[in-house]
């Protein structure tokens, strides 16, 4: 099977595989321009995984589609640079992208129930790109597709080749979507919430599968998710997005050890933990995601931030590195470990203890 080797010509090279510089995506709407992605810069090495984390509406899906070049040109205006293998692809025409899609970059979508063509056999959905990009004949493409189905751990792949998507379960369909994406050996895989629509028991299987495939193929991956827990053990780097901007980014270990941005902290405390005592209330981030039309001058998270001060709603913090660590970037005036925030945190904790004592330990009481 050819796809088990690294694709030809992708010896571990020098420099980043993907280098996004100052990328912004804007949609024109009747209410004004929607700034879905603003001034995002990020880079990704070959074979590595970047996790992009944020809640709904943070612009992470638009970002991945912008990188992929999949947004409709008529409505989305993109500025900035997307450098892939040393070449700026942001100005590519659809024809140029067509040579790129599938072979260099591929994408996995959130909902496997709608991502496959319902009236086409799944085998055919894999072979059509093999035949187009790799110039395979019918039999070779068929055999390769069966191998791909086997590699994504679909039982009895030869038989499954001829079934339609509705005959498979959600987890199986997502495996097929992965096989479709992997067919032509892309160097970069964009997985847009690949497990969100799946049963919890299937999620880990799919994530493990993606990780194995990625390692085998020495493929870079961008894993977009709203769940910090999904990327925790899998991504080399994590970028946290809020209101279309990256608000904190760092190698995974550093981010978890020393998070600076209150939003990251809030996402973190929304993950259920095994070591927490039973019936601990999961904390939710209060308020709503910000609107992206006519954003105010300050930090977009300020209205929801427990540590926000006057400065936060007046001036937007720039993305800056942590003092002795250029890899760890954050955008906050009063990071989580600043004296000001600790003061507020202590204060909040004291208040909560008082409330708990008064309410008989029932912190749920309104």
| CB nearer to other proteins: pick between 118 and 277 | 118
- As a three-state string, the secondary structure of 328-353 is EEECCCCCCCCHHHHHHHHHHHHHHH
Minimum gap (Å) between residue 233 Cβ and other proteins: 27
| CB nearer to other proteins: pick between 27 and 97 | 97
- Cα gap 187→106, rounded to integer Å: 8
| CB nearer to other proteins: pick between 74 and 201 | 74
- Cα gap 195→110, rounded to integer Å: 7
Find the binding residues for other proteins in span 180-219 (CB under 8 A). 180-181, 183-184
Tokens of 312: 């936060």
For the beta sheet containing 105-108, the strands, ordered from the edge strand earlier in sequence to the opposite edge, are 105-108, 188-192, 220-225, 49-53, 237-242, 245-251, 325-330, 320-322
Minimum gap (Å) between residue 107 Cβ and other proteins: 4
Find the binding residues for other proteins in span 53-112 (CB under 8 A). 68, 70, 94, 97-103, 105-107, 109, 111
| CB nearer to other proteins: pick between 181 and 302 | 181
Given the structure tokens 């955008």, which residue do they identify? 331
Site for other proteins contains 29 (CB under 8 A): no
Minimum gap (Å) between residue 151 Cβ and other proteins: 17
| CB nearer to other proteins: pick between 178 and 308 | 178
Minimum gap (Å) between residue 75 Cβ and other proteins: 10
Segment interacting with other proteins (CB under 8 A) among 176-184, 207-215, 333-341, 355-363: 176-184
Site residues for other proteins per CB under 8 A: 68, 70, 94, 97-103, 105-107, 109, 111, 114-120, 128-129, 132-133, 164, 166-167, 177, 180-181, 183-184
């Amino acid at each position: 099977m050819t796809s088990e080797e690294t694709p030809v010509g992708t010896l571990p090279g020098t420099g980043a595989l993907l280098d996004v510089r100052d990328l912004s995506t804007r949609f024109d709407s009747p209410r004004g321009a929607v700034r879905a992605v603003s001034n995002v810069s990020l880079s990704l090495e070959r074979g590595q995984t970047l996790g992009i984390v944020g809640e709904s509406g943070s612009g992470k899906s638009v970002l991945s589609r912008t990188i992929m070049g999949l947004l409709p040109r008529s409505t989305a205006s993109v500025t900035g640079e997307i450098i892939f293998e040393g070449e700026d692809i942001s100005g590519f025409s659809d024809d140029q992208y067509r040579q790129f899609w599938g072979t260099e970059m591929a994408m996995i979508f959130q909902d496997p129930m709608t991502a496959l063509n319902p009236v086409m056999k799944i085998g055919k959905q894999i072979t059509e790109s093999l035949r187009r990009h790799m110039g395979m004949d019918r039999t070779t493409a068929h055999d390769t597709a069966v191998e791909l189905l086997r590699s994504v751990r679909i039982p009895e792949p030869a038989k499954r080749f001829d079934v339609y998507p509705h005959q498979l379960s959600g987890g199986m369909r997502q495996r097929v979507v992965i096989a479709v994406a992997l067919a032509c050996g892309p160097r970069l895989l964009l997985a847009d919430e690949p497990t969100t629509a799946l049963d919890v028991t299937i999620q880990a299987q799919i994530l493990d599968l993606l990780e194995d495939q990625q390692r085998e193929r020495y493929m870079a991956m961008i894993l977009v998710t709203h769940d910090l827990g999904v990327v925790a053990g899998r991504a080399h780097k994590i970028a946290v997005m809020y209101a279309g901007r990256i608000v904190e980014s760092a190698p995974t270990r550093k981010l978890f050890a020393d998070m600076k941005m209150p939003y990251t902290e809030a996402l973190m405390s929304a993950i259920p933990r095994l070591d927490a005592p039973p019936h601990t209330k999961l904390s939710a981030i209060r308020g709503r995601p910000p609107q992206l039309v006519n954003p105010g001058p300050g930090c977009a998270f300020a209205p929801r931030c427990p540590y926000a001060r006057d400065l936060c709603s007046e001036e937007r913090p720039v993305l800056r590195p942590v003092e002795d660590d250029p890899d760890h970037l954050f955008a906050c005036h009063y990071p989580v470990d600043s004296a000001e925030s600790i003061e507020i945190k202590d204060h909040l904790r004291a208040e909560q203890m008082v409330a708990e004592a008064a309410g008989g330990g029932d912190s749920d009481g309104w």
